[in-house]
Amino acid sequence: MADLKTNFLGIESPNPYWLASAPPTDKEYNVRRAFEAGWGGVVWKTLGSEGPPVVNVNGPRYGAIYGADRRLLGLNNIELITDRPLEVNLEEMARVKADYPDRALIASIMVPCEEEAWKAILPRVAETGADGIELNFGCPHGMSERGMGSAVGQVPEYIEMVTRWCKKYYDRPVIVKLTPNITDIRKPAAAARNGGADAVSLINTINSITSVNLDTFSPEPSIDGKGSHGGYCGPAVKPIALSMVSEISRAEATHGLPISGIGGVTTWRDAAEFIALGCGTVQVCTAAMTYGFKIIDELTAGLSKWMDEKGYTDVSQVVGLAVPNVTDWQYLNLNYVAKAKIDQDQCIKCGRCYAACEDTSHQAISMSADRVFEVKDEECVACNLCVDVCPVDGCISMVPMQAGEVDPRTGLEVQPNYANWTTHPNNPMSKAAE
Amino acid sequence: MAQGQMAPGIVSGRLSSDELTSNFTDLHPPLAAHEAAVAADRCYFCYDAPCVTACPTDIDIPLFMRQIQAGQPEAAGETILAQNILGGMCARVCPTETLCEEACVREAAEGAPVEIGRLQRYATDSVMVSGSHPFSRAEPTGKTIAVVGAGPAGLACAHRLAMLGHDVVIHERKPKPGGLNEYGIAAYKSTNDFAQAEVDWLLKIGGITIETGSVLGESVSLNGLIENYDAVFLSIGLAGVNALRADGAEKDGVRFAVDFISDVRQASDLADLPVGRNVVVIGGGMTAVDASVKSKLLGAENVTIAYRRGRDAMGASRYEQDLAASHGVKIMTNVQPVAIHGNGAAVEIELEYTSSHDGQLKGTGETVRLAADQVLKAIGQTLEGAPEGLQLDGSKIAVKGAGRTSIAGVWAGGDCAAGGEDLTVTAVAEGRDAAMDIHASLTA
């Protein structure tokens, strides 16, 4: 069995699965249960400044989007940072860390954008023995209205400034948690690096309204007839998170910056994908909130089994393996030509490929009176929509054409060489091929 | 005190009232809302869906599935009822395993079709429960059409005609409307007097009068109907039953399965209903299965279906056969009755094994005797009481197009008319289509 032992910024944990800063890590009781279940680490629910704790609403904090059979696909929340006194949290963190020295314990922090506020809290966090801190520049609801959370994360200059303060007053790893509610994720990531951050973690939650009640016309979750946008997370946000992670992994200004990946990690496969795009650890929240802590058994066993099958012995060997394959559209090989192929033995004759192609794509699938569906190579642009809508996994595949074959759609011979948009004759900006 | 399964002869009260009540509950309980949502979500919304093609009434099944998924089961019900006004009963009695569900692509994919029948029931029930009748009548045409027989074909025809603005008078020989829905369908498929509730709901459209006790050839004649109405639709079913050719077929304890089924359907207290200890049902169709299962549910100790051909030739679908088997009914194939023994009342039935050569069935000479204090004949129904002058096609009323008979102004549909399977859903389709044709000819 592959060893999942992870070293991230010098912080060791028995596996790369950390619980994200969120309700599951709000107090000693939950965190002990998580560690007993086998989680590699936790990022403690975000701490605020000394003083009267924040208050939460007393109505629904969560809203959900469901797939078939009420499978939870997306979760939205309007909960704020911890609503327990700072002192209580710090005492509990110290006790837990002392009892679980092999697990990662990170303190998430959100205090006002003033140097004094950070200077005040950081030494107290250090005293707990926590392995590092995560700066919550991500929460998009409530605290952002008070100039914290994503209000900081949306201004790269603030990120850099606060990160610098933290590095000045705290001597262990500083992780900056980024909000996805921005246009270009590379900017805040670069700001964090410039400020001296040891790593970034992303994504925090996405602004969202899960639904509108059509009787009361209140957004959900509804508090006394009104709703406010919350932060969206869960399986539905994973593609957004993967893209943002990949941008940071491959951008010149941030390449090599350690990343803790967050966003819809539900099974070992999701984790492996985040790791392959450059993450040293992954953080999980919604899956645990949906199914409980026991999912760690599948997460660890699955990742380990896959690594065994692939011959990897250490998680670090997987980190970033997919990054070289993430590129810009303009560099995609335009000489690559594929055609959809329908395996008639597997086809169950539902006709979804036909409806999709005929109504909304390229009219490249024919239908016979006895419901045989076939691809018209002379029309097929290999868009993959038929594959995506086919209910049978593996029934329709995209088969690459070989060099020298003639594409019946264009009448042109498939070329063996790589050629992209930058050299394409239709591109007014094209450079002559070397 | 219940008499038990071992009491000899044909007796009532073999089981306690509680047992009987439990035995005659819904074969398939209705789906709850969440179950329905999950089940409907399995529909792939096929293009030109095979299930629709397989449905004799062409219900837009993918559309109603999507309406269930989208949280509007009543809209789903309206989609169904617009094509099949008896969609509620069809949801209960259709052999979906040989119609829509057999054609479902998920049957091909994984041997587990979308549960179209149960979902159709969920959708139509929600319309019935709401009490609303989503169809209204067109401007009155001033025409009145006579419908003979208030079974599925007649009711479907009448409703469509009423919707199109015509008035309808249904002549029904029995005391209650519904036809086989009321008198013939297995009780465990149509519980809580659903057949009458459905008829009541159907009649809410207005413009339909039912005259019960009105018998064609007795109280009314075809010529009289042609004279007094603008058109006539015959949906008289198959009132006759085939006789059993075996020695001793007249003995006590031998009766027609359809009568037995009707008694069960009409019984006010199942505990009063007599059934044999050893029941043998002759036949291989749905009636044979219904009668055998009912006998078992009433407490018979041994129930055997005796069918003269092989299992593949049985009219009952594999699903129905399995249903019988799961209730403890023994199915014997390739046996034909030769004699019923007993002094006045049946005690034993003597069956001869058969074999088939070039399609010809022959007795092998070898016989077997089974204890049989009750023998139920389920060997087919025949057209009876068809008016003179109507051209027949084989043993049924010949029709062309949408049910046009050889006499102008007279249409026919349902089991009495040639063509199509003898199914509720087919009868509904024929009644509906004849109504459209009648409307076209009256308004041309």
Question: Is residue B161 domain-shared with residue B204, that is, in the same domain?
Answer: yes
Which token pair is A263?
A: 């966003």
pLDDT tens profile B296-310: 999 999 999 999 999
Contacts of B66 (CB under 8 A, 6+ apart): B40, B43, B45
Number of helices (H) and strands (E) in chain A: give both, helices first: 12, 22
Residue A433 has pLDDT above 80, yes or no: no
Are A229 and A255 in contact, with CB atoms under 8 Å apart? no
Please give the pLDDT value at position A432. 58
pLDDT recorded at residue B188: 72
- CATH code for residues A329-423: 3.30.70.20
Angle between helices A186-194 and A238-250 (to 10 degrees): 50
Q: Do residue B325 and residue B301 come from a single domain?
A: yes
Question: Measured between alpha carbons, how far is residue A157 from residues A110, A171, A202, A347, B23 in Å?
Answer: 17, 22, 18, 56, 76
Backbone angles phi, psi at B230, to 5 degrees: -80, -20
Q: What is the pLDDT of residues B95-109, one digit of tens each?
A: 999 999 999 999 999
Same domain? For B156 and B269 the reply is no
Per the CB < 8 Å rule, is A350 touching B48?
Answer: no
Tell me which of B343, B360, B377 is where a domain ends: B377
Dihedrals phi, psi of B406, to nearest 5 degrees: -70, -10
Name A232's bridge partners: A76, A206
**Cα separation, B388 vs B394, whole angstroms:** 15
Three-state DSSP at A200 gives strand
pLDDT (average), residues B404-413: 97
Q: Are residues B166 and B265 in the same domain?
A: no
For residues B149-160, average pLDDT? 98
* Tens of pLDDT, residues A23-51: 999 999 999 999 999 999 999 999 999 99
Q: Which amino acid is at B206?
A: G
Report yes or no on B4 lying in a domain: no
Q: Which residue has the higher pLDDT, A145 or B202?
A: B202
Check pLDDT > 60 for residue A434: no
Q: Return the structure tokens found at A246.
A: 């990949």
Cβ atoms < 10 Å from Cβ of B162: 23
Q: Do A352 and B44 touch (CB under 8 A)?
A: yes
Confidence of residue A212 (pLDDT cuts 50, 70, 90): very high
Give the CATH number of the domain where residue B197 resides: 3.50.50.60
- Dump pLDDT digits (tens) for A345-359: 999 999 999 999 999
- Output the domain CATH number for residue B63: 1.10.1060.10
Matching residue, tokens 């179209």: B116
Q: Evaluate whether residue B430 is within a structural domain.
A: yes
Q: Burial of B45 by CB count in 10 Å (0-12 exposed, 13-18 middle, 19+ buried)?
A: middle
Determine the residue of chain B that is closest to A389 in CA distance: B44
Q: What angle do CA A111, A98, A299 make, to 5 degrees?
A: 80
H helix intervals, B238-369: 257-266, 286-298, 318-326
Q: Which residue has the tokens 């250490």?
A: A314
Residue type at position A137? F
Q: Where are the beta strands (DSSP E) in A130-258?
A: 132-136, 174-177, 199-202, 206-208, 211-212, 219-220, 230-233
Query: How deeply is B303 buried, as exposed, middle or buried, from its count of CB atoms within 10 A (0-12, 13-18, 19+)?
Result: buried
Same domain, B359 and B397: no
Quick one: B257 and B360 in the same domain?
yes
Tell me the shortest Cα–Cα distance from A69 to chain B, in angstroms: 5
Structure token digits, residue B62: 């993918």
Report cis status (omega within 30 of 0) of the bond before A221: yes
Which of B130, B164, B181 terminates a domain? The answer is B130
B138 within domain boundaries: no
| Phi (first) and psi of residue A248, to 5 degrees | -70, -40
Specify if B387 maps to a domain.
Answer: yes
> Cβ separation of A352 and B47 shorter than 8 Å?
yes
pLDDT confidence bin for B1, thresholds 50/70/90: low
pLDDT at A143: 83
Q: Which two tokens stand for residue A238?
A: 């994973």
pLDDT for position B250: 93
Q: Does B332 touch chain A (CB under 8 A)?
A: no
Identity of the residue in A70, A348, A351 whose CB atom sits nearest the CB atom of B48: A351
Of B38, B42, B50, the CB nearest to A349: B50
Q: What is the mean pLDDT of residues B222-227?
A: 96
Q: Pairing state of beta strands A230-233 and A259-262?
A: unpaired
Q: Considering chain B, what percentage of its residues have pLDDT values greater than 90?
A: 84
A370-390 pLDDT, tens digit per residue, is 999 999 999 999 999 999 999
**B124 and B45: one domain?**
yes
CB < 8 Å to B112, chain A? none
Same structural domain for residues B235 and B316?
Answer: no
Torsion angle, alpha carbons of A263, A264, A268, A274, to 10: -30
CB contact under 8 A, B109 and A354: no
Which chain B positions have a beta carbon within 8 Å of A392's beta carbon? 109
Question: Which amino acid makes up residue B112?
Answer: A
Q: What is the DSSP string of B309-343?
A: S-GGG-SS-HHHHHHHHHTT-EEEESEEEEEEESS
- Chain B: residue whose CA lies nearest to A358: B47
Give the pLDDT confidence of B309-348 residue by residue, as tens digits: 999 999 999 999 999 999 999 999 999 999 999 999 999 9
Model pLDDT for residues A242-254, shown as the tens digit of each residue: 999 999 999 999 9
For residues A271 and B387, the model is more confident at A271
Mean pLDDT of chain B, nearest integer: 94
Domain count, chain B: 3
Q: Using CA atoms, how far apart are residues A141 and A62, in angstroms rounded to an integer?
A: 12
Helix extents (H) in B30-187: 33-41, 50-54, 61-69, 73-83, 87-93, 100-103, 105-110, 116-130, 152-163, 180-183
Is B243 in the A-facing interface, judged by CB distances under 8 Å? no
pLDDT at res. A139: 84
Which pLDDT score is estimated for B24?
86
**Of the candidates A257, A256, A114, A238, the residue with the CA atom closest to the CA atom of residue A176:** A257
Nearest to A85 by CA among A49, A129, A56: A49
Last residue of a domain, one of B326, B357, B377: B377
Give tens-digit pLDDT for A87-102: 999 999 999 999 999 9
Structural domain including B229 reads: 144-239+383-443
Interface check A182 vs B, CB under 8 A:
no
For residue B19, give the DSSP letter: H
3-state DSSP call for residue A355? Answer: helix
The answer to whether the Cβ–Cβ distance between A392 and B109 falls below 8 Å is: yes
- Residue B357 shares a structural domain with residue B248: yes
Q: Tell whether the model's pLDDT for residue B257 goes beyond 70.
A: yes
Confidence class for position A431, pLDDT limits 50, 70, 90 = low
Q: Where are the domains of chain A?
A: 6-325, 329-423
pLDDT for B27:
78
| Domain identity same for B156 and B282 | no
The topology (CATH level 3) of A6-325 is TIM Barrel (3.20.20)
Structural domain contains residue B10: no
Residues of A tagged active-site: 139
pLDDT digit string (tens) for B2-11? 788 899 899 9
B58 & B69 share domain: yes
Residue B135 domain flag: no
Banded model confidence at residue A1, pLDDT cuts 50, 70, 90: confident
Nearest-by-Cβ selection for A350 from B34, B37, B46: B46
* The residue type at B173: R
Q: Which of the residues A350, A389, A390 would you substitute to probe the B interface, choosing the one with the greatest number of B C-beta atoms within 10 Å?
A: A350
b/e burial code for range B372-403 (CB count within 10 A of at least 16 → b): bbbbbbbbbbebeebbeebeeeeebbbbeebb
Q: Domain for residue B14, yes or no?
A: no
Distances from the Cα of B379 to the Cα of A243, A402, B49, B243, B250, angstroms:
70, 66, 36, 8, 16
Closest CA relative to residue B157, chosen from B235, B211, B90: B235
Read off the pLDDT band of A296 (50, 70, 90). Answer: very high
- Chain A residues 368-407 with CB within 8 Å of chain B: 371, 391-392
For residue range A406-419, what is the model confidence (pLDDT) as tens digits?
Answer: 999 999 999 999 99
Cβ atoms of B239 and B215 closer than 8 Å: no
Q: Does B63 touch chain A (CB under 8 A)?
A: no
- Residue range A50-86, pLDDT digits in tens: 999 999 999 999 999 999 899 999 999 999 999 999 9
